[in-house]
A and B are shown apart, each in its own frame.
Chain A
Amino acid sequence: MNFTSLPFLLALAVAIPITYFIPAKFKCVYLLALSYLFYFTWSVGYSLLLAATSLTTYSAALIISNAKSDSVKKWVVAGAISALLAVLVFFKYSEALAAIGKALTAPGLSSVLTGLVIPIGISYYLFKSISYVLDVYWGNLEASRDVVAVSLYIAFFPQILSGPIQRSPEFFKQISSGNFGRLDPPAFERAIGLLLLGFFEKLVVADHIGALVHAVDAAQSTNAYLLLIGVYGYTLQLFADFSGITHIAIGIGLFFGIEGPPNFNRPFRANNIQEYWRGWHMSLTTWLTDYLFMPLRLAMRNMGNYGLALSIMINMILIGIWHGDNWTFLVFGVIHGVFMICSALTLKPRNTFFKSRPTLSRLRKVYAPIVTFHMVCLALIFFRAPTVSSAVEVIRGIAHHQFSTKIPPSIGHDVLIPALVAAVIAFDLGTGYLGLNRLGTLIAGTSNSSNRRWISYGTALLIILLLASTGGGEFIYAKF
């Protein structure tokens, strides 16, 4: 069931009020049951994998916590992380592994892996499991003895489709608070605001831009204007779509007393690529910084800048191929790796250079976000393309400067105008430059006056119902 489907919303409308009547000690059981019911709507069979992952994570953390000897802890943590990663690699890269199996003339392996469907949410729940085990191993957290709590942390349904990837200490703190799952009017209202904002971003903004991007793709034109519309459009659509599902996920969680971490912080006003990654898919990038980049960087800390560059490149390549086994994701990761390395190594001298040149420094404030935005767009051409060569074709098409103001008849004004308005809103949601972002805060309800807030929620709902795109599809990030 998708978050924007009517059956899901109806089920949610029933499940939310019930939670406030469930006695405190059964609240986690109730949420766990809901989470598995939700998962059953995607796949009953794969829910066994989810349960097995949860039990493995729970047991490994307890063994690590209780073990007296450091070597036992080390072996268990290595075993658990390897097992969790093996599951991730097996399902996520099944096609690549099948190709390897074929090349190695191992038809058994190849036939098992061919056509394997990726379990929904696997990247998200395995990342949660891995961080929980590592946090216990690093002594940042006591292992929980409550199997329901650990299973709920891993399977919590609002976060399973596309994150955000919540950390275990934050999650356990919330479910162990005395007020957990009690009706809290301000939180309830905030949840409504987040839900409306998320639906607005997805149905009104992302899906209208998506319709144009789709129409441009279908036109298969070499007109550079259209290619650029496709490139900019997809960047804005991806942001609005992903920010939308994140707001919906945080909103739904909040109804049940669990608030997830934010995923975006105005990524398109970043002055450099490092800043961009600090504001884009934050729950993944901070996860990777803590559990991958930092251990790598520490292991290579005496290798100077080479160690830094290597850690960054491995990190960015893994961000890329985390999305799937297409070569395009690898290229996406390498491009960002090169950008990040150049930026990290030159940032200090660049800052020193501009410090003593105030005019240039002012100019830098204007062009830096524009350059960064285009770097992001460039990498996303590969991210979106079905093959590396088709991405190169798009870049070549733009570089050839075949600009024509002639728009194919398949891209009508009914597609073009809503998409352009939506693109302006998406750009503003990602930058806050135009002041339209007040729209976002208005929908999410920040006014001191309760009446005014409820009027804005009502208006937002009306806007969503009236302006929602009818041709919208699944959330882009649900497939990762």
Chain B
Amino acid sequence: MDRNQIHDKLTAIFRDVLDDDSIVLNDSTTADDVDGWDSLSHVNLLVAVEKRFAIRMSTREVKSMRNVGDFIALISQKLAQ
């Protein structure tokens, strides 16, 4: 799966979990830029991402993500393993 495909799939997950079809993600997007992306919904997003990409992320990996770009890079790295 290439970067663009991961980006599209991730956007769909965000829209679904946060119940907002207007969400547009780019690499520099952070939680401050998206309504409803708080500490509670963040975990719901991670659970959905892990399920739909069939990957598993550690606490350290999750905590080191700073923006959507880091999120995509981590998913891509996990898929390559």
| Interface residues, chain A, with chain B CB atoms under 8 Å away | 134, 137-140, 289-290, 293-295, 297-299, 301-302, 308, 344
Chain A residues whose C-beta falls within 8 Å of the C-beta of B62 in the assembled complex: 294, 298
Chain A residues whose C-beta falls within 8 Å of the C-beta of B40 in the assembled complex: 297, 308, 344
A134 to B64, CA, bound (A): 10
A137's nearest neighbour on chain B, judged by CB, is B60
Contacting residues of chain B (4-63) with chain A, CB-CB under 8 angstroms: 39-40, 42-43, 46-47, 59-60, 62-63
A234 to B46, CA, bound (A): 41
B59 touches A295 (CB 8 A): yes
A137 to B58, CA, bound (A): 13
Chain A residues whose C-beta falls within 8 Å of the C-beta of B64 in the assembled complex: 138-140
| Interface residues, chain B, with chain A CB atoms under 8 Å away | 39-40, 42-43, 46-47, 59-60, 62-64, 66
**Could you list 16 A-B pairs, sorted by A, with CB under 8 Å?**
A134-B63, A138-B60, A139-B64, A140-B64, A140-B66, A289-B39, A294-B62, A294-B63, A295-B59, A295-B63, A298-B43, A298-B46, A298-B62, A301-B43, A301-B46, A301-B47
B47 touches A293 (CB 8 A): no
A191 to B59, CA, bound (A): 39
Question: Known: A139-B64, A140-B64. Contact between A298 and B39, CB under 8 A?
Answer: no
A-B contact count (CB 8 A): 35
Chain B residues whose C-beta falls within 8 Å of the C-beta of A290 in the assembled complex: 63
B47 touches A138 (CB 8 A): no
A297 touches B60 (CB 8 A): no
A293 to B39, CA, bound (A): 9
Chain B residues whose C-beta falls within 8 Å of the C-beta of A289 in the assembled complex: 39
- Which of B42, B47, B59, B66 meets A299, CB within 8 Å? B59
A138 touches B63 (CB 8 A): yes
B63 touches A297 (CB 8 A): no
B60 touches A294 (CB 8 A): no
A295 to B60, CA, bound (A): 9
Chain A residues whose C-beta falls within 8 Å of the C-beta of B39 in the assembled complex: 289, 293-294, 297
- CB proximity of B74 to chain A, nearest CB, Å: 12
Chain B residues whose C-beta falls within 8 Å of the C-beta of A308 in the assembled complex: 40, 43
Chain A residues whose C-beta falls within 8 Å of the C-beta of B60 in the assembled complex: 137-139
Chain B residues whose C-beta falls within 8 Å of the C-beta of A295 in the assembled complex: 59, 63
Chain A residues whose C-beta falls within 8 Å of the C-beta of B46 in the assembled complex: 298, 301
- Which of A134, A140, A302, A344 meets B47, CB within 8 Å? A302
A79 to B77, CA, bound (A): 29
A302's nearest neighbour on chain B, judged by CB, is B47
Additional pairs, 11, CB under 8 Å, beyond known A138-B63, A140-B63, A297-B39: A137-B60, A138-B64, A140-B64, A289-B39, A290-B63, A295-B63, A297-B40, A297-B43, A298-B46, A298-B62, A301-B47
Chain A residues whose C-beta falls within 8 Å of the C-beta of B66 in the assembled complex: 140
Top 4 A-B residue pairs of the complex, sorted by shortest distance between their CB atoms: A138-B63, A139-B64, A297-B43, A298-B59
A143 to B64, CA, bound (A): 15
A312's nearest neighbour on chain B, judged by CB, is B40
- CB proximity of A291 to chain B, nearest CB, Å: 9
Chain B residues whose C-beta falls within 8 Å of the C-beta of A137 in the assembled complex: 60
A290 to B31, CA, bound (A): 13
A308's nearest neighbour on chain B, judged by CB, is B40
A140 to B60, CA, bound (A): 10
A301 to B42, CA, bound (A): 11
A291's nearest neighbour on chain B, judged by CB, is B63
A139 to B39, CA, bound (A): 19
A220 to B59, CA, bound (A): 51
A290 to B59, CA, bound (A): 11
A300's nearest neighbour on chain B, judged by CB, is B43
